[in-house]
Homo-oligomer: A and B are copies of this chain.
Amino acid sequence: MSLYERILAGDIRAAARLMRNIDDNLPSSRSDLQELFPHTGGAFLIGVTGPPGAGKSTLVDQITAAYRKRGKRVGVVAIDPTSPFTGGAILGDRIRMNRHADDEGVFIRSLATRGHMGGLSRSTADVANVMDAMGMDVVIIETVGVGQDEVDIVRLAHTTLVVMVPGMGDDIQAIKAGILEIGDLFVVNKADRDGADRTARELSMMLEMNKYAEGAWRPPVLKTEAQRNVGVDELVESMENHRQWLVNSGEINLLLKEKNAALFQTLLKERLFAEVYGRIEEDGRFGEILDGMLSRRQDPYSAVEQILAERLKS
């Protein structure tokens, strides 16, 4: 049986294997993903982002437990900062969420932030699609930071949760600016700390400044203490409300269109580059161009146009 058939038959190890193949950018992973694609679309994708130290991993652990209590199967794709010394993800799958280790209804996969040939957001989309095809009801994508890459990643989700911590002081304005538009829900975690109410209030005020259209979703600001599992049920309730709103408002159609368009565009960009660059790297052409650039005899702009003229059919 091929890998995708084993995955559709519920073989967890086959799924783990395909995810490694995706990591290694093996061409065979494309045909597996191709066969799995028609079986995707069932999962509810939740994106979780926020600054380092906000307690995202613990919160994701609690959200996972809450969905398990509701009988849902949960997949987690955790984008971990890469260790500068080992090159691997800092928090491995095994360190994360030990308590779900024996639960067949939970599947966890860590991706390191470096070394994704086709871009991290593509790898993440592929891994989320595998979990979706495996029959996971909920797939949580967890990522650190507020960079463009992180924004692209949370755009894979149906519902995006932004996790903050109290007392970020001066920094909050700058951080919020980048995340206000991506959050469907905001959580002030570690809510037992000083300044939690103030941070929540400030966030609400920033959000109020937005002009919401009639019937638009108004992102709620919630408070949690993930460590003690306080506020997590309310959070899950609120995420389910957002999901329901997506369906009732018809917004889900627009969202799916964007998600699918982004997946296709990223794939197209990556494959075009791999084919054309692979060739000129192999036949020495790239080396010549690079030498020319270093001596300033050759500019990259006209070199690229020439390659386009040679390789693209009109």
Contact = CB atoms under 8 A, between A and B. Distances in A.
Interface of A: 30-31, 33-35, 37-38, 40-41, 51-53, 81-85, 90, 113-114, 120, 144-150, 169-171, 174-175, 177-178, 180-181, 209-210, 256-257, 260-261, 263-265, 267-269, 271-273, 275-277, 286, 289-290, 293-294, 296-297, 299-305, 307-308, 310-313
A84 B311 CA distance: 40
B171 A260 contact: no
Contact of A301 (B37, B113, B150): B37
B146 A264 contact: no
Contacts of A148: 113-114, 120, 147-149
A237 to B, nearest CB: 26
Given A52-B174, A181-B84, A300 B90 contact: no
B273 A303 contact: no
What is the total number of copies of this protein in its complex?
2
Nearest to A183: B84
B260 A169 contact: no
Given A145-B145, A269-B273, A269-B277, 8 more contacts: A33-B299, A51-B51, A52-B146, A52-B174, A81-B178, A257-B290, A264-B304, A267-B304
A210 B83 CA distance: 12
A296 B81 contact: no
Is chain A's interface secondary structure helix, strand, loop, or mixed overall? helix
Contacts of A301: 30-31, 33-34, 37, 267
A256 B297 CA distance: 15
A53 B171 contact: yes
A40 B298 CA distance: 12
Nearest to A91: B174
A293 to B, nearest CB: 4
A271 B147 contact: no
Contacts of A177: 81-84, 90
A242 to B, nearest CB: 18
A277 B273 contact: no
A293 B38 CA distance: 9
* A-B complex: 8 closest residue pairs judged by Cβ atoms: A147-B147, A53-B171, A52-B174, A84-B181, A37-B299, A34-B301, A148-B149, A269-B273
A114 to B, nearest CB: 8
26 contacts: A30-B301, A30-B305, A34-B299, A37-B293, A52-B146, A52-B174, A53-B169, A53-B170, A81-B177, A81-B178, A83-B177, A90-B174, A113-B178, A120-B148, A145-B147, A147-B150, A256-B294, A264-B290, A267-B300, A268-B277, A268-B304, A269-B277, A271-B304, A271-B305, A311-B312, A311-B313
